[in-house]
């Protein structure tokens, strides 16, 4: 892997880790750490990152 590819990988990793940390902090604040859905897509360096925190309760 050349230096440019390694740099891309590191930049993607840094952005993803930062996003996941923010999602976990948000989930922890809402007491929803058990129900997290995270989706991350990359298209030529443009990251689209979405998350959903769910609140599930048994009906019976």
Question: What is the structure's pLDDT at 11?
Answer: 93
Alpha helices in the chain (DSSP H): 3-29
- What residues form DSSP beta bridges with 24? none
pTM of this structure: 0.82
- pLDDT of residue 56 exceeding 90, the answer is no
Q: Is the pLDDT of residue 1 over 80?
A: no
**Rounded to an integer, what distance in angstroms lies between the CA atom of residue 44 and that of residue 42?**
6
Q: C-alpha angle with apex 24: 18 to 32, nearest 5 degrees? A: 160
Least confident window among 2-6, 21-25, 48-52 = 2-6
Query: What pLDDT is stored for residue 23 in this prediction?
Result: 96
């Amino acid at each position: 892997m050349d230096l440019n590819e390694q740099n891309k990988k590191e930049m993607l990793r840094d952005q993803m880790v930062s996003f996941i940390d923010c999602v976990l902090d948000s989930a922890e604040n809402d007491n929803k750490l058990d129900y997290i859905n995270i989706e991350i897509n990359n298209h030529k360096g443009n990251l689209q990152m979405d998350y959903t925190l769910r609140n599930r309760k048994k009906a019976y």
